[in-house]
Structure 1
Amino acid sequence: MSDTSAPTGQRVVHRRYVPYSHAHYAGNLVDGAYSLGLFGDVATEMCIRTDGDEGLFASYSDVQFLAPVRAGDLLEITCTLVSRGTRSRVMEFEVLVVGRGAATPEAPGAARILQEPVRATTATGTVVVPPAPGR
């Protein structure tokens, strides 16, 4: 059930483990497009919740890559609705690294939860949804 009167400030949060198969660069780094794909996922859920439709990404007005994302990371991806137009929805996005692989030769599967999350990627984006019925 959608909430077409959803207030600004509404949030959607996903958690995702970054598999080693997504490593793209030396040091098990993941490309920046990985975070953008995750932003699309949380924006889709936001649009489903607020408008009963998946919506379509129209643009990013700001993307900041602040810290590396690596294979083995545990990420928290947040989407916050900041404004609503007739069909547009402006959202702010954030990727936090909340856990990180800590493999050693003695413990190849070791990982840990970080005491302080690392802010890895932020963005502001606009999504459009179909007109409401009757408009």
Structure 2
Amino acid sequence: MTGLIGLAATHRRYVPYGHAHYAGGLLDGAYVLGLFGDVATELCVRGDGDEGLFAGYEQVRFVAPVRAGDVVAATGTVVRVGNRSRTVRFECVVVCRGRPDRGVSAAEVLDPPLLAVSAVGTVVVPAAGGAG
């Protein structure tokens, strides 16, 4: 089980304009938390052969905005393994950002990427040999 520590997964996604929730094309924080849930599911499948269940967050920090037209990368890394629980450290970075100030379809790669959200969460998987 401790072999799961360091297991990581990253999902990249273009943020469509239809997902904008606030003025300025801003998204609500729940959008990124949903991405973290998808990443956690992949980690559980890879590590335990089960989708697992998200038990909760210990910490969530919204550091910078996510906007429609961004390309984001959400990464989760297993940092602690219990009997049935897995603690995961998450980060979501903006890797590309739309630049409507330069033109309707203008965009740029952010180098370095912009940290938007960080979190620590716990997922739970069935006991070894058990069904979920």
Which bracket does the TM-score occupy, shorter chain normalised? over 0.9
Gaps in structure 1 of 5+ consecutive residues = none
- TM-score, with structure 2 as normaliser: 0.94
Look up the match of 2:79.
82
1:14 offset after TM fit, Å? 1.0
Of 105, 111, 116, 2:107 maps to 111
| Contact 1:15–1:74 (8 Å) recurs in 2 | yes
Q: Does 1:35 align with 2:32?
A: yes
Which of residues 43, 48, 51 is equivalent to 2:48?
A: 51
User: In the alignment, is residue 64 of structure 1 matched against residue 61 of structure 2?
Assistant: yes
Cα RMSD (Å): 1.4
C-alpha distance in 2, partners of 1:6/1:75? 28
Q: TM-score, normalised by structure 1?
A: 0.92
Question: 2 CA distance for matches of 1:49 and 1:75?
Answer: 22
Whether the 8 Å contact between 1:5 and 1:50 is mirrored in structure 2 is no
Question: In 2, distance between residues paired with 1:5 and 1:119?
Answer: 28
Contact 1:68–1:120 (CA<8 Å) still a contact in 2? yes
Give the corresponding residue for 1:133: 129
Question: Corresponding residue for 1:120?
Answer: 116
Q: How many pairs are equivalent?
A: 130
Are positions 1:26 and 2:14 aligned together?
no
- Classify the secondary structure of the residue corresponding to 1:61: strand
Q: CA deviation at 1:5?
A: 6.0
Gaps of 5+ in 2: none
SS of the counterpart of 1:120? strand
**Paired residue secondary structure (2:32):** helix
> What's the CA shift for 1:45?
0.2
